[in-house]
């Protein structure tokens, strides 16, 4: 095995931070260490004091920032959707981040951590993302940052930013992949029993999240039915008929309730079915396409590339359970 120096990685957090922003990436990096059987990453969690209390109430001990010195490979700044979002970042924290950035090769942020690194002037002229709730605030405070609230993480040069909370896990996996290859990153994802590694271009919220928001809606039944019958005729006409609405009205109320059009939702549902089939079966791609309601393999392929940034065959190779054999 090739011997490499461990990369030193410091995660900066603060009082009232989102704990998942810290421990999500931490578990990914330590998982990489474990699976690689040696120290890939030298991990440290730092804050202003010797401990901080996260927003969920759990207290964690930290290395005082004042005692942290370079050089380091990666500086990662966590966020929080409470204090970290609404409060102006404290001068001292920002100053420490700016100081450490000088001695880091790579700057990364999770969630609203982007607000902190932006305040330290580290995002000027860069493309960056943050929790969708904070995107407007980031753009307002820092017009020189090219904020894009779409992707779950953005890589611009030596700066990586991620969307809210669990997107930090995706970011960490992307960093592991960047540093040590897709293989190790995928192994870590599998070990953490993640449903699959998400591509950076994936949207911050999927229609599935919006769906189910209101159980009392007359559309809830329809949405459930769609999920259970992906191969049925799910055209707007057929669904309107089923719901007892005109096509026009269904389109209108559906968009109003879920902020997604009917066709877009149907596509997401079918794509989910396709992913599951690719992960758990060895059904050929024509079969997969048909079983999830796409009439042709090409249609499945196109949707897959656009929404997930990969091809069905590629996806199966990565996440399929029989991915060790030939194909």
Partner DNA sequence: ATATCTCCCCGCCAAA
Partner DNA sequence: TCTTTGGCGGGGAGAT
Interacting residue ranges for DNA, rule: CB under 7 A: 235-237, 245-249, 251-253, 255, 261-264, 267, 294-296, 298-299, 302-303
- Among residues 8 and 255, whose Cβ is nearest to DNA? 255
28: buried, middle or exposed (CB in 10 Å: 19+, 13-18, 0-12)?
buried
CA distance 39 to 33: 5
The least CB distance from residue 256 to DNA, in Å, is 9
Residues 6+ apart with CB under 8 A from 166: 20, 24
- Among residues 98 and 236, whose Cβ is nearest to DNA? 236
Measured at the alpha carbon of residue 125, what is the angle toward residues 122 and 128, in degrees to the nearest 5? 70
The least CB distance from residue 279 to DNA, in Å, is 22
The least CB distance from residue 300 to DNA, in Å, is 9
CA distance 87 to 81: 10
Radius of gyration of the chain (CA): 22
User: Both tokens of residue 208?
Assistant: 């599935």
- Among residues 48 and 253, whose Cβ is nearest to DNA? 253
- Among residues 7 and 307, whose Cβ is nearest to DNA? 307
- Among residues 38 and 249, whose Cβ is nearest to DNA? 249
The least CB distance from residue 309 to DNA, in Å, is 15
CA 182 to chain centre: 16
- Among residues 49 and 309, whose Cβ is nearest to DNA? 309
The least CB distance from residue 301 to DNA, in Å, is 10
The least CB distance from residue 214 to DNA, in Å, is 15
**Dihedral of CA 242/247/249/251: which sign?**
positive
């Amino acid at each position: 095995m090739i011997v490499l120096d461990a990369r030193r990685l410091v995660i900066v957090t603060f009082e009232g931070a989102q704990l998942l922003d810290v421990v999500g990436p931490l578990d990914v990096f330590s998982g990489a260490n474990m699976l690689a059987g040696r120290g890939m990453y030298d991990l440290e969690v730092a804050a202003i004091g010797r401990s901080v209390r996260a927003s969920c109430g759990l207290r964690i001990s930290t290395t005082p920032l004042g005692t942290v010195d370079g050089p380091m490979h990666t500086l990662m700044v966590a966020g929080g959707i409470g204090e970290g979002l609404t409060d102006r970042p404290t001068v001292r924290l920002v100053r420490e981040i700016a100081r450490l950035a000088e001695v880091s090769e790579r700057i990364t942020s999770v969630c609203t951590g982007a607000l902190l690194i932006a305040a330290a002037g580290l995002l000027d002229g860069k493309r960056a993302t943050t929790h969708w709730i904070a995107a407007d605030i980031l753009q307002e405070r820092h017009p020189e940052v090219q904020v894009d609230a779409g992707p779950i993480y953005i890589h611009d040069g030596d700066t990586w930013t991620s969307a809210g909370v669990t997107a930090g896990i995706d970011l960490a996996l992307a960093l592991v992949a960047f540093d040590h290859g897709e293989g190790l990153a995928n192994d870590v994802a599998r070990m953490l029993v993640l449903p699959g590694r998400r591509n950076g271009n994936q949207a911050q919220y999927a229609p599935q999240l919006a769906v189910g928001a209101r159980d009392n809606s007359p559309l809830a039944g329809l949405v459930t039915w769609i999920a259970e019958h992906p191969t049925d005729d799910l055209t707007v006409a057929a669904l309107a008929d089923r719901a007892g609405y005109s096509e026009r009205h269904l389109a209108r109320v559906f968009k109003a309730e879920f902020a997604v059009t009917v066709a877009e939702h149907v596509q997401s549902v079918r794509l989910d079915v396709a992913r599951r089939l690719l992960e758990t079966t060895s059904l050929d791609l024509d079969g997969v396409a048909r079983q999830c309601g796409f009439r042709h393999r090409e249609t499945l392929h196109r949707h897959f590339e656009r929404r997930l940034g990969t091809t069905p065959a590629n996806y199966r190779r990565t996440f399929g359970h029989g991915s060790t054999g030939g194909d």
